[in-house]
Chains A and B, each alone.
Chain A
Amino acid sequence: MLPSLSRIRSNIDTITASVLAVWMVAIADWFLTKRLPAVVTALFMLAAVGYLGRLAFQTSRQPIRAIRTLNLQLSALFIVTWPFVVWVLDMLELREASAIFARWGTGGLFCIGLAWFVWGMELASQRFERMRHQRDTNLPRSWHPLDVRAWYYGERSPKLRQSLAGLLSYSLMFLFALLLFSQLSGCQELYEMPAGGGEQQTVAQTVKLQKIIKKKFVVNPFSAILFKVPPIDEIKLQLTEITKHAYTVGYGQGEGAGYAGGTKQGKVRFIRIEYAGGDWDQDFGVGSDLNMLMEYGLRTNQPVNSHTESRTIEQLKNFPVGSSPPFVFMTGQGSISLSSAQVKILREYLDEKHGMLFIDNGGSGHFHNQVLAMMRNVLPQVRPTPIPLDDIIHRVPFQIPFLPYVAPHGGKEALGWRVDGRLVCYYHPGDIADAWADDHAGVPPEIWEACYQLGTNVINYAHAEYSKWLVSRGAAKK
C-alpha cells in the first residue's frame, strides 16, 4: 500500500527541520564557541546545502510546478549556501574573498528578504481589498498598515506611500537585526590593511631647484634695424621647489603606499578602546582621532577610513587572528578598571594576534600609574623601558629628534613594552592627542607637527610589524 500524501509531506517536514537544526548548531558553534571540529561543521553545513538543493531540484522537476515552494526552497538554499562559502574561504584563510562574499551575501539576503516582504505585503493588501469588496465599499478607513486604504496613506498615491513605508520599515528591521547580530561575541569582524608596499626608511625630502632660462633672440648688434637688445646675462630664474617623498610609506613589495599583507579595499582605521573606570572617550572622534587619521592619510598616501571607531575590550575578541587591528588607541586621565577576562583578551590581542596598544596619558599622574599597573597585569614578565630616540618607531617614516608633549603628565619619556623585540605597547606620557585636536591645545606649531609625525610613525610601525608577521605566517604555512 502506498503511503498517503500527507504522510510523505510530514516526513519531509521532519527531515527538513532536522537538517536545519543541525545547520543552526553548526552556525552557532562557528559564531560562538568554535568547539566542533572543522570536519563536523563542514559536514553539517554541506548536509543542509545538499538537502535543500536536492529538494529544490525535485520541486523544479515536478510536472505542476509549485512556484512558491520552489522560491521558498531557493531562498533557504541561498541562506545556507552563503555562510558555507564564507566559512570555507575563512578556513582557507582567504580573508579578502571571504570578506567580499560576506558583504555580497548580506546584500543578497537583504534583496531576498525584501522580495518576500513585498510579496507578503501585496498579498495582505489584496486580502483587505477583497474584504472591502465583499462587505461594504464605504467601510471607514482602518489603522492597519497592510491595508492600502489606511487613513495615513492619504488619498493620493496610497499604494506608493504604503510601498515606501514598507521599504523603510523593512530596511530598519534588517539594520537592527544586523546590528544585533554583529554584537554577538562570536561575530567576526575583519580589519584589512591597505595593500601596497614601501620601505622602512626615514623620509628624505629632495628639493630640486629648477632654473628656467628665458628664451633669447640673438640679434646682430650691427644690424641696420634697431632692436632693443637685452643684456646677455639677464636670465629670469623661476625657482620651483619640487618636494617629494623618495619612496612610498609602508612595508613590502606591492605597488603604491601600503602593506604586503593588505587588501585592495583595506584601509587604515583608528580604533579606540573603551574601558571602565575612567574617561576613555576624551577628545574622541572628530576632535582629535579623526585629525590624526586624516593627517596619516595625507602624509603616507595610504587609504584611511572616513571615520574613527571605538570597541570594547571584549569586541577585540571578535577579530580573527590575521585580520585584527594592528593597533588600538587608549587614552584618559582617570582610572582603568579591567576584569581578569579583559586582561586575558588584551594579552591575547598583543601576543597571539600580534596587536599593539598605543596609549596616551590624557591628563594625570594617576593615569600614568594606572597604565603601569594595567600593563603589569597584562604582561607580567615584561618591564617598561624608555624608547630610544633612534628606535625605528622614532625614525620611520619621520625622524623625531625629540619627544614632543603637551604637558608632562607621566614624565617626559615615551615608554615601551617589548615582546621578542617588537613593541607591543607604546606609551606617550604627555597628552599627544590634545596636540592632534583642532586647536592643538595652543602648543607651538613645531610641537603639534612633531606630534602628528610621531602619531604617523606609531601607526605605521604597528601596520608594518603586522604586515611582516602576516608575510612570515604565510611563508611558514607554505
Chain B
Amino acid sequence: MAGITWRCQEITIRYHRAFILGMICLWTAMIFGSNGLVAAPLDELPLDRWKDLRETERYQMQIAEKYYREQNWKIAAGEYEKFITLHEKSSGSAFAQMKWSICQVRLKKLNTAIKDGFQSVIDYWPESPDAMVSAYYIGHTYKDMGEIKQAKKAYQQVLQKYPKASVAAYAAVDLIDLATLEDDKQTLNTLWKKLTFDTERTNDTRSICENASRQYASHSLYHGGSKKAAKSLSTTYVETSQLVDQLVVLSIQAINQLMQDEKNRTQAEKLADDAINHVRGAMPADISTPEQKLFSQNCWFAIARLYDATKRPEQSDETYKLTLEKLGRNDEILAEYARWRKTQGKYEEARQLYASYENKIEGLSQIAYSFREQQKWPEAIAVYQQLAGMDAERQFDWLSQAASTHRQAHEWMQAINIYQELMAKDADRADSWLWEIAYTYRISGQYKEAIGYYRQCNNFPGNYQEMAICHRALKEYGEAIVLYNQIVGTDENWAPWAMIQIGYTREEAEQTEQAIKAFQQVCKRFPKNQYASQAHAHLQTKYKITVTLGGAKDE
C-alpha cells in the first residue's frame, strides 16, 4: 500500500536505532562540517553592535536586512550601498559593506565581491570584526570559483592572523575539504589534530572540532591506530557508552572498507579484535541497574557486529548466545539475534526467536514480515489475519497489511475485497482506502473501474494524473487530454508536466502535428523548466525539428 510504512519494518529498525542514529549523526556532522553552512552565524550583526547604531542607521540596516532575508539580492545590495553612503562613519558600515559583498556572491559576481567588497572591508575597516569574517569569505569565495591556490593562500592568512577566532576553524574545515580532494594526507592530519586537540571548543566551533575528532579517529583506524582513534574520540565523548558506540561505528566502517579487498583481511581482523578488546574493557562488571544492563547489552551487540563485519559467523552466534545467557532473554536481544540470523539466510531459526517474544503481537508481525521477505505470501497473509483477530486496536492496520500482501502476490480481487471491507469499517480513512482500491484496479489492468474510484478521490492533481493514465491505456486520448488540460489550467507547478504529457498523448493518438505543437508549447511557455529540456530533446531526436521555440536566460 503506497504511503503506508510497514509496521514490521519499523519494529526491526527500532532495535538498531542506536547504530543507525550513530551513523546518521556521524554523516550529518561530516556533511555539515565539509560544506559552507558555517556562513549562517557569520552574516548576522551581533546584538551588541545593533545597539551601537543610531536610530536612522538601524532603520536603514533593517530595510536592507529585510530584503537580504527575502533573498532579494539586488535590492538588498542597493540598500546596503545606501547605508554606506548615508552613514559612512557608522560602526555598521563595515558590516554593510560585507553584506553587500555577500549579495554580490549571490548575484554570481564573485570577482566583484572579492575585489570591491570583502577586500574593501579589510582595507577600510581593518580593526573591525567584519574584516576578520571578510578575510575568511575571500578564501571561501575563491574556493567557490575553483581558484584553489588563491583560496589556500587566503585561508592560510586567516589561520595566521586570527588563530583563536572561529573563522580559523571554518578556514581549517575548508582547507580539509581541499586537502581531501588533493589527497594531501599530511595537511589533513595536521588540520584534524589542530581542530581536535588545540582548538578551543566554543558554540561556533564545537561541531567542527567534534567532526574533526571523528574524522581523525576514522583515519587512524584505517591505519591501525586504535589507541589514537580512542584518544581523538575521547575529546568529544566523555561518557564511556558514547565513546564505545562511536568507536564501534567507525571501526565497522573501516572494516567494511578493508574487507572489500581480501588482502586486507588480516588488518581488518586485527582492527576488529582491537575494538572488541576495547569494548570488553569498557563493559561494566556490575549490571544491577537498568542503565548498566543496557550498556552491557549494547557492548555485546557491538562485539557480535564486529565479528560479523569480519565475516566470523561462529563467533557472532556464540556472542549472541552468550548475551542471552549473561543478560537473560528479552525481546531486544532476541530481535537483534533474529536479525543477524536473517542476514545469514536462516529464516526458520529467526522465526523461532520471534515466536519466543514476550510481546506476542510484535513477534507475529516480525514473523509475517519475514514471510514477506521470502515472498511466502499465503503464510504472511495467514499471520496478518491472525494478528487482526488478536489485536483489535490495530485490526485495520493488519488487514491493510494483508491486502498489501495480496497485491504483492497479484491476488487483485482478494486485495480489493479487503480494502472494501476496510472502507466500510474504517470511515476515518475512507479516502486512503478508496485510493488503494483505485490503484489496485489500475495495476491489475481494470482501468474503467480504476477511473470510477479515482473520480471519487479528492487529492487533485494526483487523481487526475492517474485517471489520465487509465484513459491513455484505454486509448481514450481525448479524455486524457481534457484531464491534462485541467491540470495545466489549475496547478501551475504541475502545468509543464501536464503539457508534455499532452504531447505524448497526442503522439500516441498519432496526431503528430498537434503533438509537435504541444512540445513546442512546453519549450515556449516554460523555458526554464526541466520539461522544456525534455521536450526540446524529444523534438530534435524524434521529429528532427530544430525550431523548438524555447530559450531563456539565467540572471
Give me the interface of A with B, judged by CB distance under 8 Å. Answer: 283, 333, 363-365, 381-391, 401-409, 412-413, 416-418, 420-421, 430-431, 434-435, 437, 439, 441-444, 446-448, 450
Give me the interface of B with A, judged by CB distance under 8 Å. Answer: 107-112, 144-150, 181-183, 520, 523, 527-530, 532-533, 535-537, 540-541, 546-555
Q: Chain B's nearest CB lies how many Å from the CB of A358?
A: 17
Q: Chain B's nearest CB lies how many Å from the CB of A391?
A: 6
A333, B537: Cβ atoms under 8 Å?
A: yes
Specify which of A383, A404, A408, A443 is in contact with B549 (CB 8 Å cutoff).
Answer: A443
A407, B182: Cβ atoms under 8 Å?
A: no
Q: How far is the CA of A401 from the CA of B74 in the complex (A)?
A: 13
Contacts A409-B533, A444-B551 given; indicate if A388 touches B182 (C-beta within 8 A): no
Contacts A381-B181, A385-B145, A390-B111 given; indicate if A408 touches B537 (C-beta within 8 A): no
A450, B537: Cβ atoms under 8 Å?
A: no
**What are the residues of chain B within 8 A of A363 when measuring CB–CB?**
533, 536-537, 540-541
A442, B547: Cβ atoms under 8 Å?
A: yes
> In this complex, what residue of A is CB-closest to B105?
A388
Specify which of A365, A384, A412, A442 is in contact with B548 (CB 8 Å cutoff).
Answer: A442
Given contacts A388-B109, A407-B537, 4 further A-B contacts (CB under 8 A): A363-B533, A391-B110, A408-B530, A421-B149
Specify which of B144, B540, B553 is in contact with A447 (CB 8 Å cutoff).
Answer: B553
**What are the residues of chain B within 8 A of A413 when measuring CB–CB?**
108, 554
B550, A404: Cβ atoms under 8 Å?
A: no
Q: How far is the CA of A380 from the CA of B88 in the complex (A)?
A: 47
B553, A403: Cβ atoms under 8 Å?
A: yes
> In this complex, what residue of B is CB-closest to A367?
B537
A418, B146: Cβ atoms under 8 Å?
A: yes
Specify which of B111, B181, B527 is in contact with A391 (CB 8 Å cutoff).
Answer: B111
Q: How far is the CA of A389 from the CA of B112 in the complex (A)?
A: 10
A388, B554: Cβ atoms under 8 Å?
A: no
Q: Chain A's nearest CB lies how many Å from the CB of B156?
A: 17
> In this complex, what residue of B is CB-closest to A410?
B533
B111, A404: Cβ atoms under 8 Å?
A: no
A421, B548: Cβ atoms under 8 Å?
A: no
Q: How far is the CA of A412 from the CA of B147 in the complex (A)?
A: 21
Most buried by A among B150, B182, B552: B552
Q: Chain B's nearest CB lies how many Å from the CB of A301?
A: 27
> In this complex, what residue of A is CB-closest to B522?
A407
B533, A404: Cβ atoms under 8 Å?
A: no
Specify which of B111, B181, B182, B555 is in contact with A401 (CB 8 Å cutoff).
Answer: B555
Specify which of B111, B528, B553 is in contact with A388 (CB 8 Å cutoff).
Answer: B111
Contacts A383-B146, A385-B144, A403-B553 given; indicate if A431 touches B536 (C-beta within 8 A): yes
Q: Chain B's nearest CB lies how many Å from the CB of A211?
A: 37
Sample of 16 A–B contacts (CB below 8 Å): A333-B541, A386-B108, A388-B111, A402-B554, A403-B553, A405-B551, A405-B552, A405-B554, A406-B536, A407-B527, A407-B551, A418-B147, A430-B533, A434-B536, A437-B546, A443-B550
**What are the residues of chain A within 8 A of B108 when measuring CB–CB?**
386, 388-390, 413
**What are the residues of chain B within 8 A of A401 when measuring CB–CB?**
555
Q: How far is the CA of A441 from the CA of B536 in the complex (A)?
A: 9
Q: How far is the CA of A441 from the CA of B519 in the complex (A)?
A: 13
**What are the residues of chain B within 8 A of A390 when measuring CB–CB?**
108-112
A408, B110: Cβ atoms under 8 Å?
A: no
Specify which of B520, B528, B546 is in contact with A408 (CB 8 Å cutoff).
Answer: B528
Contacts A381-B182, A388-B111 given; indicate if A364 touches B551 (C-beta within 8 A): no
> In this complex, what residue of A is CB-closest to B144?
A385
B147, A421: Cβ atoms under 8 Å?
A: yes
